[in-house]
Amino acid sequence: MLKVIVTLVVLAVGAYIVNGGWAENLGALYRNYKQSNMSLTEFWRGVICKRK
C-alpha cells in the first residue's frame, strides 16, 4: 500500500514539474549551478543562505 501512495505522489510531482510549475525555476537553478563552478554542497549552502 505504501508503494502505491509513494508512486502516486511521485507521479503528481513529476506532472507538476513537466507542466511548468517548477520547470523554469529548476532550469534556472541548474544553469546557475553550472556557471558557478562550485561544488554542489557549496552551491546549496549559498542558495539556503540567500533564502533566509
pLDDT in tens, 5-22: 888 888 777 666 666 666
Q: Is 52's pLDDT higher than 60?
A: no
Residue 42 is assigned to a structural domain of this protein: yes
Whether this prediction's pTM lies above 0.75 is answered by no
Specify the pLDDT at position 32.
83
Specify the pLDDT at position 18.
61
Looking at 1-52, list the stretches that DSSP marks H as alpha helix, in order from N- to C-terminal side: 2-18, 23-36, 40-51
Specify the pLDDT at position 8.
84
Grid cell locating 23? 520547470
Task: Count up the domains in the chain and report the number.
Answer: 1
Residue 39 is assigned to a structural domain of this protein: yes
User: Locate cell 525555476: which residue?
Assistant: 25
CA pair distance 42, 33, nearest whole angstrom: 10
How far is C-alpha 44 from the geometric centre of its chain's CA atoms?
Answer: 11
Residue 15 is assigned to a structural domain of this protein: no
Note down the domain range covering 36: 26-52
Residue 36 is assigned to a structural domain of this protein: yes
Residue 21 is assigned to a structural domain of this protein: no
Residue 19 is assigned to a structural domain of this protein: no
